[in-house]
């Protein structure tokens, strides 16, 4: 966006997780509409990033500079602030949420702060955390929207800490030794995957786990 203020931060402590709270803007063009609205009102509020539209990431302001997203107490310490545009489509939300988690984690790493949500000290903070701990704002996002899409506070915290593995399309299959014995399997990227225990049963073998070497062996 053009015409943004260019103020240095007091210190780099946080990356802020937001959502706009606009229940009326959940359509397929919600991301574009939110960015357009923020551009018109940047003198009052703007953040560095938006996520939405099926996993799209749009940067509209530089990181490491003052943004107007979480109030006068939090803004001077926030390296980046990320908004998650709303949707009513659960499949789109999965893509948006995955991108949101990835971006928040990457920005925290770039800023050199802990990849932890709403903990003590520096880290990734919700807008609610800023309201409760620093004041100067009253917003409590993004928790109510995440909850409406099936993401609990506990899950959000875990996903921020651990990240989300890329989900690849799996094709159901079976592994067969003879015409009588089969076990379920999945094919991912051309490779067949089975449960080790199922394979042992199919072969008439036992599994023995060695706690010291952290290995599992097939035995008769």
Q: Which residue has the tokens 């995957």?
A: 193
Same domain, 140 and 68: yes
Hey, what are 85's tokens? 């545009």
**9 part of a folded domain:** no
What's the pLDDT score for residue 25? 97
**7 part of a folded domain:** no
What's the pLDDT score for residue 170? 47
Q: Tell me the pLDDT of the chain (220 aa) as tens digits.
A: 778 999 999 999 999 999 999 999 999 999 999 999 999 999 999 999 999 999 999 999 999 999 999 999 999 999 999 999 999 999 999 999 999 999 999 999 999 999 999 999 999 999 999 999 999 999 999 999 999 999 999 999 999 999 997 544 445 565 655 555 666 766 555 556 666 666 677 677 776 766 566 566 777 7
In the chain, which ranges are continuous DSSP H helix?
A: 30-40, 90-111, 127-133, 143-148, 153-162, 196-203
Contact 46, 4 (CB under 8 A): yes
Same domain, 107 and 137: yes
Same domain, 20 and 87: yes
What's the pLDDT score for residue 36? 95
Same domain, 52 and 78: yes
**Buried/exposed code over 26-47 (b: 16+ C-beta within 10 A; e: otherwise):** eeeebbbbbbeebeeebeeebb
**Beta-carbon contacts of residue 171 (< 8 Å; ≥ 6 apart):** 186, 187, 188
Same domain, 109 and 214: no
Same domain, 74 and 49: yes
**8 part of a folded domain:** no
**6 part of a folded domain:** no
What's the pLDDT score for residue 194? 66
Alpha carbon distance, N-terminus to C-terminus of the chain: 68
Same domain, 101 and 26: yes
Same domain, 187 and 132: no
Same domain, 190 and 131: no
Q: Say if strands 123-126 and 14-18 run parallel, antiparallel, or are unpaired.
A: parallel
**Among the three residues 162, 193, 211, which one is the final residue of a domain in this structure?**
162
> From CA 133, how far away is CA 74, in angstroms rounded?
10
Q: How many residues are given for the chain?
A: 220
Same domain, 76 and 134: yes
**211 part of a folded domain:** yes
Domains of the chain: total:
2
**71 part of a folded domain:** yes
What domain range is 201 assigned to? 171-219
């Amino acid at each position: 966006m053009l015409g943004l203020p260019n103020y240095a931060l007091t210190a780099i402590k946080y990356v802020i997780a937001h959502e706009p709270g606009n229940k009326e803007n959940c359509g397929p063009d919600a991301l574009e509409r939110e960015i357009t609205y923020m551009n018109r009102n940047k003198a009052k509020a703007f953040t560095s990033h938006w996520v939405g539209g099926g996993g799209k990431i749009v940067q509209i302001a530089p990181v490491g500079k003052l943004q107007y997203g979480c109030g006068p107490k939090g803004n001077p310490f926030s390296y980046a602030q990320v908004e998650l545009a709303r949707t009513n489509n659960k499949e789109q939300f999965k893509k948006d949420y995955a991108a949101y988690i990835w971006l928040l984690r990457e920005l925290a790493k770039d800023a050199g702060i802990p990849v932890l949500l709403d903990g003590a000290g520096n880290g990734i903070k919700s807008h609610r955390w800023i309201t409760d701990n620093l004041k100067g704002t009253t917003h409590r996002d993004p928790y109510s929207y995440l909850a409406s899409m099936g993401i609990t506070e506990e899950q959000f915290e875990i996903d921020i800490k651990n990240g989300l593995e890329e989900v690849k399309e799996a094709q159901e299959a079976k592994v067969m030794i003879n015409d009588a014995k089969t076990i379920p399997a999945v094919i991912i990227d051309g490779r067949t995957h089975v449960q080790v225990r199922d394979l042992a049963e199919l072969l008439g073998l036992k599994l023995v786990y060695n706690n010291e070497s952290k290995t599992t062996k097939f035995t008769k």
